[in-house]
């Protein structure tokens, strides 16, 4: 069996062998960064019609802090519960940034 062992440096050359070793090292570092990583992706679903009425009732009864915006059509609402202090001060940040952030993190983890 030993006679079938491949001498990598001899077959590929020292420079290619070093390049492959460096690639393996980089892959190990990426794997270490993502080994225990996970994310949840937040997707906003605009509410219209009866769903807006139902949401308003639930929001009034709950003990949660909501950030909400009525879109320019006057009938569509975007809302999210349990916002941070920053989100309370800036509704667009509370509504748009979490969805954008979770999508980017999801993309990064998939591609890492």
CB 62 within 8 A of CB 81: yes
Distance CA 108, CA 106 (A): 5
> Which tokens in the block code for residue 46?
């605009």
Which residue matches tokens 């509704």? 91
CB 104 within 8 A of CB 111: no
16-38 per-position pLDDT tens digit: 888 888 998 998 988 888 788 77
62-95 per-position pLDDT tens digit: 888 888 888 889 889 988 888 888 878 888 888 8
> For the chain, what is the total number of helices (H) and then of strands (E)?
5, 2
Whether pTM exceeds 0.75 = no
């Amino acid at each position: 069996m030993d006679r079938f062992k491949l001498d990598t440096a001899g077959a590929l050359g020292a420079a290619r062998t070093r390049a492959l070793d460096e690639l393996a090292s980089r892959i190990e570092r990426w794997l270490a960064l993502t080994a225990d990583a996970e994310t949840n992706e937040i997707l906003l679903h605009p509410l219209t019609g009866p769903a807006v009425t139902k949401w308003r009732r639930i929001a009034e009864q709950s003990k949660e802090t909501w950030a909400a915006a009525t879109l320019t059509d006057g009938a569509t609402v975007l809302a999210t519960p349990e916002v941070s202090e920053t989100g309370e001060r800036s509704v667009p940040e509370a509504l748009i940034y979490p969805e954008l952030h979770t999508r980017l993190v999801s993309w990064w983890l998939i591609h890492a």
